[in-house]
């Protein structure tokens, strides 16, 4: 092992960004499995390598408490996921999905007990949340959707499924569209044809993401195992 960061040849890892880098062969097969680094801000990083030497996962301690609470990994060639364990219980509490090209976050999920309970989505890439999907009862199905249809940062509409049948029971609206206060409510029983289905309003900018809100993306690891 060495702290000489000039000996590492990884195109996606810039040694100049770190004051210390050390490659480690954990299983003794002659191939490096991990790289431990400390950046110039004092944040510790662990890079996990596959058999070809490519980085598959990055863990970060960004608050200096000795726990690697943040993970960075590729979901696919277009998407990077940042998992954050805010309460240090070893499991991610939030996952942010970022466009690998632009660096813009287009979806952020809140996770409880391994299940997505809220998902905020920026559909048009302007940095403003356009839609929020919620699973308020923890059954893995969206039952509340809030919409900002004009990108002003204020909610215009909230759609609610009260009984879990997938149909909209209430629509709450900010009629004057000025303050995000949803002062008007209409109910499905007021209309012979009802108010439509919750699924009609579920969309995602990336098909790898799960807007049914049962689990995070299938190939995403949200468990935090000790690296040493």
**75 in any annotated domain:** no
Distance CA 122, CA 126 (A): 7
**8 Å CB contact between 99 and 205:** no
Residue 194 lies in a domain: no
Does the residue 78 lie in any domain? no
What are the pLDDT tens digits along the chain (228 aa)? 334 444 555 556 888 999 999 999 988 888 899 999 999 999 999 999 888 888 888 999 988 888 888 999 888 888 989 999 988 888 889 999 999 889 899 999 999 988 899 999 999 888 899 999 999 998 889 999 999 988 888 899 999 999 999 999 999 999 887 788 899 999 999 988 899 999 888 865 443 444 445 555 544 555 544 432
Residue pair 193/211 in contact by the 8 Å Cβ criterion: no
Do 160 and 169 touch, CB atoms closer than 8 A? yes
Q: The CATH number of the domain where 22 resides is what?
A: 3.30.505
- Does this model's pTM top 0.75? My answer is no
Tokens of 17: 């960004």
Name the domain count of the chain: 1
| Residue 197 CB neighbours (<10 A) | 14
- Domain-embedded: residue 31: yes
Per the structure, the complete domain to which residue 9 belongs is given by: 1-64
Residue 48 in domain: yes
Report yes or no on 46 lying in a domain: yes
Residue 9 lies in a domain: yes
38, part of any domain = yes
- Tokens read off for 173: 């609206």
Tokens read off for 87: 């309460």
Q: Which two tokens stand for residue 153?
A: 């940062």
């Amino acid at each position: 092992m060495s702290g000489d960061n000039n000996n590492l040849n990884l195109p996606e890892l810039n040694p100049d960004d770190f004051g210390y880098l050390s490659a480690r062969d954990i299983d003794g097969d002659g191939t490096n499995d991990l790289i431990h680094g400390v950046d110039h801000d004092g944040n510790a990083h662990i890079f996990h390598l596959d058999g070809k030497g490519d980085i598959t996962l990055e863990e970060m301690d960004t608050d200096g408490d000795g726990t690697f609470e943040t993970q960075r990994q590729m979901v696919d060639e277009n998407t990077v996921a940042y998992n954050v364990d805010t309460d240090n219980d070893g499991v991610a509490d939030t996952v942010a999905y970022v466009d690998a090209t632009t660096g813009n976050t287009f979806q952020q999920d809140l996770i409880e007990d391994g299940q997505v309970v809220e998902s905020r989505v920026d559909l048009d890439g302007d940095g403003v949340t356009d839609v929020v999907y919620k699973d308020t009862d923890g059954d893995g199905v969206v039952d509340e959707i809030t919409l900002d249809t004009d990108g002003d940062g204020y909610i215009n509409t909230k759609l609610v499924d009260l009984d879990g049948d997938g149909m909209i029971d209430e629509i709450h609206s900010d009629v004057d569209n000025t303050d995000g206060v949803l002062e008007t409510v209409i109910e499905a029983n007021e209309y012979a044809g009802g108010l439509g289905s919750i699924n009609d309003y579920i969309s995602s900018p990336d098909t790898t993401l799960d807007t049914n809100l049962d689990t995070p993306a299938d190939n995403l690891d949200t468990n935090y195992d000790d690296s040493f």
